[in-house]
């Protein structure tokens, strides 16, 4: 997280003014905003007091002088949330302050599923329910009186379900259908025309054919009614006096079944089926037969103590041939008729009075009932249990103790158990407990006053009759006092809280008093403690649940519970700071309190003033914010960690319904026989897509290239195209809110010949960001090209590399993992989409600093350009390469933010969708590559009251050849505009273009390559301002400048200058050597390239040499002959001497 403080803030802090830390998390909907900027603007001065870029978890921190601030929130590029200013937030101390921007419900992206449901004879099916499920989300629709339904759903693959339990006159009485894998990618019509037929018939007993009146007939039909999906339908009817039923409605086109049930002793069940047509009527007759089954006549008597009959006993017989449930009468008798077979027998007697234990349950399997009379009596042996409950060690009788006893009984495979209970009297004795006799029994003291105790159990044999007496002895146990005080928020006492202590020998439920304290006596043991509060409030969350296991009680103990509770307060407003009531805020969190694991939750609603407050436990927390129904905003769910009191600011932003606009282009800026690059600019960051198709129109068969990254400068390169072929294309884009923009359909024609020219590096490389371990190197090319950087330690091998395959004009590559205070050499290179290149720039040396740059960029004069009734551009410069952000607001309106992450020193951002004659407040900010941010503004600018177009004026337009196949076009505009040049061999059809439509400059320079040598090239320069107003020059020809005649060639004085088209040639004169710009004299004497005679001296001259014969020789220096001195005046010898000539 990076933080920038303005000079004014630093001065205030250093002068001793009170300063505080404002920190928190910024959310957009459910998600933390990463890379958002939170800037504090001092209310009193409207100057920036500091800014912070949110971290990977959405966190920010600002150190501010205690004062009132407007907080400007700028979401990252592509965020669905818009920029927002939170006004008049007072900082008076350290504060945790979360900012939550609500996302507008993207309901407009939903599509409609509709249709009509019909049935019998095409009649409308009204009141039918349809359920549409996709993933874990379901949607419901009902048909109206015309059988029509309609529902909005997201684009998805769904399963449709249909249920009807009252089909009316159009559908069966009941019906259920499902249709899977229904793809809904657009508005979809899903009609259901059900084939419905009518079914009727007669029910008559065979073989006599006697009609059966008032018999219930059940019918069903199921199967695959349509090509996809399956349905089932059902109906029922009673026969009339003539044995006929129907007509009823069933789904047609499937198999149907009709059936009637049997009436024991009268007729059997019957089933019949038929394959149904898709329309019309069908007859299905049913023919049950006379029931000639022989039955078992089962009877018996149930008796208890002393043979007394037991009434009200429930007897259940379950078998494969039927089930029977009967009860005994006042005489203990029962009787029924059953189909012979094997049965399970169950018997239950509850509260049967003074002749059986108060509860008896019996069961037996494999009981065979044969035809004829079957007698099944049950005579329970019953004995009475008496005794006493005594307390050790003095055998003190215990009155009002509850004694429970049980015993078993088995006879003829019938296994029974019975239980009874009674209270002891004042003398500690009990009697009247009835036991099933003839087996073992047990008794225990189930509750006893004055405890706690242990013991009090006994086992014994129970006779078949008579009385058995037992003594149950209880041993008193030692108890301890457990007490404590429960506190909540800020140590406040918590009254009325219920605590539950559960141990192996029982539990306790206690409630805190008005002083928050509780106390109870309990046995020494290990306990599990629970707390459940559903109406806590006050110092604790409304709903609170806690538990802890293995709390040991071995002596009197104090168990205080201090809940770590924090307070969360907040306010809900719209984007114009108007309070919003009725927003549902739910929070839950977890924490530990005295070893207890606790969770708490609270739900509140914002009041009319937009404020709300709730209390939760410290720790990991989640919040759910639900706007009022119909507000058009999505619910937001966020997670955070509560470490102290927290303030939240919720903003229901007005929906961004303003579509982005194309401020320049689209234009073809690179052209070859198999590839083109198309560039355009938008006024805000969008994604991009380009659809193209051979021909002059898009017919639906087009291909699409997507560029999902959000930016305002778009370049998409198409490859593998056919040479000399016309293509239609259209560009589209969507901003973060889903608003779309698209161009008209345009065309281009690929060249017939390939592009053989490599790209030209027109500027750079330069370093735009430098840090101890990172550097950004940037350069530009005259056509879209890829980006490669090789780097290494200065003086060493270039063993590092970083590349980006995207074809762009402005290149920026981030190198990471560098060493602080180390020198590096960087070499950049680029190749165009046709593989020409790479073009390599000269090496660039850079030294990383030892410490990070914490100085924000300096923003120059803030100004507007091209102000119209609906648009304007805001422009500014920075002293270093930095990003560009602008926020503008109309009076009473929501803030709109424009962003461009490219690091530049000069920029213009376009404000569009403006209202005529309206004043807008504009603030801007820029951050360098290290995140150091600066801001400027506000600047107030009023739009024009009516439409008035002022096109850019291009001046000083020149087109000068720079080589046989290249040229440079330059011109000037008064305000910042784009640069685009159309060129070609035919002045009436300039079929090629080059330039940069995203730039906003006043001095324009566009390099043209790939020109035809020896042919005239014509050009037209064009410039478009940020308001989409376009100016252009006249068509001019590329001219050659005679640099030799104008004296601008720069040839050496000892060289000749020869003009060529697009250039010139400098050639050193004879006697000189060099490149023509620099010529050095040739030393022919030293080099041995002279032609002097061997008897001559060679003297070097500027541009040549001189030969002179040596003394004693004569000639022109290139030929020297010996002089005969004796031939003249005897060589100067004496007359008496002989002169002899010698060589030289």
pLDDT at 722 over 90: yes
Q: What is the DSSP string of 683-746?
A: EEEEEEEEEEEESSS--S--EEEEEEEEEEEEEEEE-SPPTT-EEEEEEEEE-TT--EEEPPPE
Query: How far apart (Å, rounded) are the C-alpha atoms in residues 452 and 520?
Result: 13
Q: What is the pLDDT of residues 297-322, one digit of tens each?
A: 999 999 999 999 999 999 999 998 88
Q: How much is the pLDDT for 15? A: 36
Residues 115 and 159 in one domain: yes
Is 288 among the domain residues? Answer: no
User: Tokens 């009297």 label which residue?
Assistant: 425
Query: How far apart (Å, rounded) are the C-alpha atoms in residues 223 and 219?
Result: 14
Is 263 among the domain residues? Answer: yes
Strand partners, 159: 133
- CATH classification at residue 525: 2.60.40.1120
Q: How much is the pLDDT for 5? A: 34
Q: How much is the pLDDT for 892? A: 61
Query: How far apart (Å, rounded) are the C-alpha atoms in residues 926 and 859?
Result: 8
Regarding beta strands 314-319 and 341-350, do their DSSP bridges make them parallel or antiparallel, or are they unpaired?
A: antiparallel
Pull the structure tokens for residue 1016.
């005239």
Mean pLDDT of the chain: 87
Query: How far apart (Å, rounded) are the C-alpha atoms in residues 202 and 213?
Result: 10
Q: Coil, strand or helix: which one is 983?
A: strand
Is 228 among the domain residues? Answer: yes
Q: What is the DSSP string of 333-369?
A: EEEEEE-SEEEEEEEEEES-TTSS-SEEEEEEEEEEE
The top-scoring range by mean pLDDT among 459-463, 578-582, 676-680 is 459-463
Query: How far apart (Å, rounded) are the C-alpha atoms in residues 36 and 15?
Result: 30
Regarding beta strands 676-694 and 662-671, do their DSSP bridges make them parallel or antiparallel, or are they unpaired?
A: antiparallel
Q: What is the pLDDT of residues 1032-1042, one digit of tens each?
A: 999 999 888 78
Q: Of 102, 117, 132, which residue is a domain's last?
A: 102
Query: How far apart (Å, rounded) are the C-alpha atoms in residues 917 and 1037?
Result: 44
Q: What is the pLDDT of residues 181-240, one digit of tens each?
A: 888 888 888 888 889 999 999 999 988 889 999 999 999 998 887 767 788 999 999 999
Query: How far apart (Å, rounded) are the C-alpha atoms in residues 885 and 768?
Result: 18
Residues 1051 and 1112 in one domain: no
Q: What is the pLDDT of residues 632-684, one digit of tens each?
A: 666 778 888 999 999 998 887 655 667 788 888 888 888 888 999 998 888 78
Is 628 among the domain residues? Answer: no
**High-pLDDT (> 90) share of the chain, %:** 45
Is 291 among the domain residues? Answer: no
The answer to whether the CB of 853 falls within 8 A of the CB of 928 is yes
Pull the structure tokens for residue 893.
């309106």
Give the containing element (helix H, strand E) for 1043.
helix 1043-1046
Instruction: Provide Rg for the chain, Cα atoms.
Output: 51
Q: How much is the pLDDT for 374? A: 93
Q: Of 162, 193, 224, which residue is a domain's last?
A: 193
Strand partners, 417: 361, 408
State the pLDDT confidence band at 244, using cuts at 50, 70 and 90. Answer: very high
Query: How far apart (Å, rounded) are the C-alpha atoms in residues 778 and 379?
Result: 105
Residues 7 and 94 in one domain: yes
Residues 18 and 96 in one domain: yes
Residue 759 DSSP symbol: P
Indicate left, alpha or beta for 1131 from its phi (over 0: left) and psi (-120 to 50: alpha): left
Report the 10 Å Cβ neighbour count for 926. Answer: 29
Residues 7 and 75 in one domain: yes
Is 533 among the domain residues? Answer: yes
Number of domains the chain is built from: 12
Indicate left, alpha or beta for 26 from its phi (over 0: left) and psi (-120 to 50: alpha): beta
The answer to whether the CB of 51 falls within 8 A of the CB of 22 is no
pTM for this model (two decimals):
0.47
Query: How far apart (Å, rounded) are the C-alpha atoms in residues 173 and 405?
Result: 56
Q: How much is the pLDDT for 77? A: 78
Nearest to 448 by CA among 412, 403, 407: 403
- CATH classification at residue 258: 2.60.40
User: Tokens 């407040």 label which residue?
Assistant: 921
Q: What is the mean pLDDT of residues 1058-1086?
A: 86
Nearest to 39 by CA among 15, 61, 55: 61
Residues 57 and 89 in one domain: yes
- CATH classification at residue 44: 2.60.40.10
Residues 487 and 546 in one domain: yes
Is 242 among the domain residues? Answer: yes
Pull the structure tokens for residue 374.
């079957």
pLDDT at 17 over 80: no
Q: What is the dihedral of CA 429, 433, 435, 441, to 10 degrees?
A: -40
Q: What is the mean pLDDT of residues 716-739?
A: 90
Strand partners, 462: 439
Residues 1067 and 1113 in one domain: no
Calculate ∠ Cα 540-544-546, nearest 5°: 115
Pull the structure tokens for residue 407.
């015993």
Buried/exposed 675-697: b ≥16 CB within 10 Å, e otherwise: bbbbbbbbbbbbbbbbbbbeeee
pLDDT at 955 over 70: yes
Q: How much is the pLDDT for 655? A: 57
Residues near 938 by beta carbon (within 8 Å), at least 6 away in sequence? 46, 921, 922, 923
Give the containing element (helix H, strand E) for 14.
helix 7-14
Report the 10 Å Cβ neighbour count for 60. Answer: 27
Q: How much is the pLDDT for 1144? A: 64
Give the containing element (helix H, strand E) for 98.
strand 95-102
Q: Coil, strand or helix: which one is 513?
A: coil
Q: Coil, strand or helix: which one is 1023?
A: strand
In whole angstroms, what separates CA 860 from the centre of its chain? 38
Residues 966 and 1005 in one domain: yes
In whole angstroms, what separates CA 939 from the centre of its chain? 36
Strand partners, 578: none
Query: How far apart (Å, rounded) are the C-alpha atoms in residues 390 and 1009?
Result: 116
* Backbone phi, psi, residue 1043, to 5°: -60, -30
631 compared with 40, residue with greater pLDDT = 40
Residues 472 and 483 in one domain: no
Q: Coil, strand or helix: which one is 1045?
A: helix
Q: Of 102, 122, 149, which residue is a domain's last?
A: 102
Q: What is the mean pLDDT of residues 713-721?
A: 92
Q: Is the peptide bond before 207 cis (omega within 30 degrees of 0)?
A: yes
Q: What is the pLDDT of residues 94-145, one digit of tens each?
A: 999 999 887 655 545 678 889 998 888 888 888 888 888 886 678 888 888 8
Upper half-sphere CA count for residue 1034 (Cβ side, 13 Å): 5
Pull the structure tokens for residue 672.
């070859």
Q: What is the DSSP string of 842-859?
A: PPEEEE--SS---PPPPB
Q: Of the ranges 456-460, 913-917, 930-934, which one carries the lowest mean pLDDT score? A: 930-934
- Per-residue 3-state assignment (H helix, E strand, C coil) for 240-261: CCCCEEEEEEEECCCEEEEEEC
Query: How far apart (Å, rounded) are the C-alpha atoms in residues 3 and 934?
Result: 10
Residue 306 DSSP symbol: G
Q: How many residues does the chain have?
A: 1144
pLDDT at 3 over 60: no
Q: Contacts for 1054-1059 with beta carbons within 8 Å, 24 or more apart?
A: 1054/1079, 1054/1081, 1054/1103, 1055/1079
Regarding beta strands 255-260 and 216-223, do their DSSP bridges make them parallel or antiparallel, or are they unpaired?
A: antiparallel
Q: Coil, strand or helix: which one is 94?
A: coil
- Enumerate helices (H) and strands (E) in the chain, giving the number of each: 3, 89
Residues 189 and 200 in one domain: no
Longest dimension (CA), the chain: 200
Q: Coil, strand or helix: which one is 1004?
A: strand
**High-pLDDT (> 70) share of the chain, %:** 95
Q: What is the pLDDT of residues 865-882, one digit of tens each?
A: 888 888 888 999 999 888
State the pLDDT confidence band at 12, using cuts at 50, 70 and 90. Answer: very low
* Backbone phi, psi, residue 907, to 5°: -155, 160
- CATH classification at residue 1063: 2.10.25
Domain that holds residue 148: 107-193
Work out whether the CA dihedral 37, 43, 48, 52 comes out positive or negative.
Answer: negative
Q: Is the peptide bond before 452 cis (omega within 30 degrees of 0)?
A: yes
* Backbone phi, psi, residue 72, to 5°: -95, 115
Query: How far apart (Å, rounded) are the C-alpha atoms in residues 531 and 529?
Result: 7
Is 700 among the domain residues? Answer: yes
pLDDT at 598 over 90: yes
Residues 765 and 839 in one domain: yes
């Amino acid at each position: 997280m990076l933080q920038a403080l303005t000079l004014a803030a630093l001065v205030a802090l250093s002068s001793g003014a009170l300063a505080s830390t404002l920190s928190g998390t910024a959310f957009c909907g459910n998600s933390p905003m990463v890379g958002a900027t939170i800037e504090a603007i001092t209310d009193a001065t409207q100057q920036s007091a500091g800014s912070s870029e949110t971290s990977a978890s959405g966190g920010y921190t600002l150190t501010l002088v205690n004062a009132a601030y407007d907080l400007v929130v700028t979401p990252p590029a592509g965020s669905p949330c818009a920029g927002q200013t939170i006004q008049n937030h007072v900082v008076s101390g350290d504060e945790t302050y979360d900012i939550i921007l609500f996302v507008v419900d993207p309901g407009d992206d939903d599509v409609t599923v509709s249709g009509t449901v019909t049935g019998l004879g095409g009649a409308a099916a009204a009141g039918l329910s349809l359920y549409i499920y996709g993933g874990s989300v379901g949607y419901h629709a009902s048909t109206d009186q015309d059988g029509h339904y309609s529902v909005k759903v997201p684009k998805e693959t769904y399963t449709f379900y249909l249920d009807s339990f009252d089909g009316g006159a159009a559908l069966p009485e009941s019906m259920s259908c499902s249709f899977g894998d229904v793809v809904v990618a657009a508005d979809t019509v899903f009609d259901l025309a059900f084939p419905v037929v009518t079914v009727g018939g007669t029910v008559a007993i065979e073989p006599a054919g006697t009609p059966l009146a008032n018999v219930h007939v059940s019918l069903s039909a199921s199967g695959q009614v349509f090509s996809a999906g399956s349905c089932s339908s059902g109906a029922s009817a009673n026969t009339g006096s003539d044995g006929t039923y129907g007509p009823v409605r069933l789904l047609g086109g499937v198999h149907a079944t009709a059936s009637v049930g049997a009436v024991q002793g009268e007729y059997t069940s019957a089933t019949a089926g038929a394959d149904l047509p898709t329309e019309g009527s069908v007859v299905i007759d049913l023919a049950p037969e006379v029931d000639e089954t022989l039955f078992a006549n089962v009877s018996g008597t149930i008796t208890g103590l002393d043979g007394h009959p037991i009434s009200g006993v429930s007897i259940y017989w379950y078998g494969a041939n039927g089930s029977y449930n009967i009860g005994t009468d006042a005489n203990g008798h029962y009787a029924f008729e059953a189909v012979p077979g094997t049965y399970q027998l169950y018997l239950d007697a509850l509260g049967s009075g003074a002749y059986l234990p108060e509860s008896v349950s019996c069961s037996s399997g494999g009981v065979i009932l044969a035809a004829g009379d079957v007698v099944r009596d049950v005579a329970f042996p019953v004995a009475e249990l008496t005794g006493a409950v005594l307390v050790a060690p003095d055998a003190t009788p215990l009155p009002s103790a509850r004694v429970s006893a049980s015993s078993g009984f088995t006879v003829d495979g019938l296994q029974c158990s019975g239980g009874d209970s009674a209270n002891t009297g004042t003398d500690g004795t009990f009697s009247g407990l009835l036991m099933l006799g003839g087996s073992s029994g047990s008794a225990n003291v189930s509750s006893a006053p004055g405890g706690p105790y242990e013991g009090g159990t006994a086992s014994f044999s129970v006779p078949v009759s008579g009385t058995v007496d037992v003594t149950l002895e209880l041993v008193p146990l030692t108890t301890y006092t457990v007490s404590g005080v429960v506190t909540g928020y800020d140590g406040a006492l918590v009254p009325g809280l219920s605590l539950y202590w559960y141990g192996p020998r029982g539990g306790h439920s206690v409630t805190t008093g008005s002083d928050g304290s509780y106390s109870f006596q309990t046995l020494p043991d290990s306990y599990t403690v629970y707390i459940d509060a559903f109406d806590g409030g006050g110092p604790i969350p409304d709903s609170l649940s806690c538990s802890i296991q293995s709390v040991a009680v071995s002596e009197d103990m104090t168990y205080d519970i201090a809940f770590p509770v924090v307070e969360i307060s907040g306010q809900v407003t719209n984007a114009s700071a108007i309070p919003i009531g009725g927003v549902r805020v739910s929070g839950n969190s977890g924490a530990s309190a005295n070893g207890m694991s606790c969770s708490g939750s609270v739900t509140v609603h914002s009041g009319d003033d937009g404020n709300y407050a709730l209390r939760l436990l410290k720790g990991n927390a989640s919040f759910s914010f639900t706007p009022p129904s119909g507000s058009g905003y999505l619910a937001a769910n966020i997670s955070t960690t509560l470490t102290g009191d927290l303030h939240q600011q919720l903003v229901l932003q007005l929906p961004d319904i303003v579509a982005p606009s194309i401020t320049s282009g689209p234009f073809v800026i690179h052209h070859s026989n198999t590839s083109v690059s198309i560039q355009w600019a938008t006024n805000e960051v969008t994604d991009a897509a380009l659809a193209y198709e051979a021909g002059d129109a898009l017919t639906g068969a087009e291909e699409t290239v997507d560029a999902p990254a959000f930016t305002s400068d778009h370049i998409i390169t198409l490859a593998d195209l056919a040479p000399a072929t016309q293509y239609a294309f259209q560009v589209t884009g969507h901003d973060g809110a889903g608003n779309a923009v698209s161009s008209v359909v345009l065309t281009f024609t690929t060249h017939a010949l390939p592009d053989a020219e490599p790209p030209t590096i027109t500027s750079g490389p330069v370093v735009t960001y430098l840090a101890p371990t990172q550097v950004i190197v940037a350069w530009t090319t005259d056509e879209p090209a890829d980006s490669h950087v090789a780097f290494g330690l200065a003086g060493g091998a270039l063993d590092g590399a970083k590349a980006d395959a995207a074809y762009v004009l402005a290149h920026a590559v981030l190198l990471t993992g560098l060493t602080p205070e180390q020198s590096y050499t960087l070499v950049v290179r680029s190749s165009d989409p046709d593989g020409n290149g790479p073009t390599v720039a000269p090496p660039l040396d850079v030294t990383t600093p030892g410490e990070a740059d914490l100085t924000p960029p300096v923003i120059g004069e803030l100004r507007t350009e091209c102000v119209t009734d609906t648009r304007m551009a805001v422009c500014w410069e920075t002293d270093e390469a930095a990003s560009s952000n602008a926020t503008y607001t109309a009076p009473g309106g929501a803030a709109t933010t424009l962003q461009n992450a490219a690091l530049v020193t000069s920029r213009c951002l376009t404000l569009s969708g403006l209202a005529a004659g309206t004043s807008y407040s504009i603030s801007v900010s820029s951050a360098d590559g290290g995140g150091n941010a600066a801001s400027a503004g506000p600047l107030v600018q009023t739009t024009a009251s009516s439409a008035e177009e002022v096109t850019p004026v291009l001046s000083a337009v020149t087109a000068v050849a720079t080589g046989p196949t290249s040229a440079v076009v330059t011109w000037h505009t008064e305000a910042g505009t784009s640069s685009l040049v159309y060129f070609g061999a035919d002045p009436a059809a300039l079929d090629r273009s080059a330039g940069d439509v995203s730039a906003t400059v006043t001095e324009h320079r566009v390099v043209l390559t790939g020109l035809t040598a020896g042919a005239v090239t014509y050009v037209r320069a064009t410039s478009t301002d940020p308001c989409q107003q376009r100016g252009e020059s006249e068509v001019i020809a590329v001219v050659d400048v005679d640099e030799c005649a104008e004296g601008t060639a720069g040839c050496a004085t000892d060289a000749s200058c020869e003009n060529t088209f697009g250039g010139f040639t400098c050639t050193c004169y004879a006697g000189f050597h060099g490149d023509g710009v620099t010529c050095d004299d040739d030393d022919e004497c030293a080099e041995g390239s002279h032609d002097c005679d061997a008897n001559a001296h060679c003297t070097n001259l500027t541009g040549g040499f001189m030969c002179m014969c040596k003394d004693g020789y004569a000639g022109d220096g290139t030929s020297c002959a010996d002089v005969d001195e004796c031939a003249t005046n005897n060589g100067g010898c004496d007359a008496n001497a002989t002169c002899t000539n010698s060589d030289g």
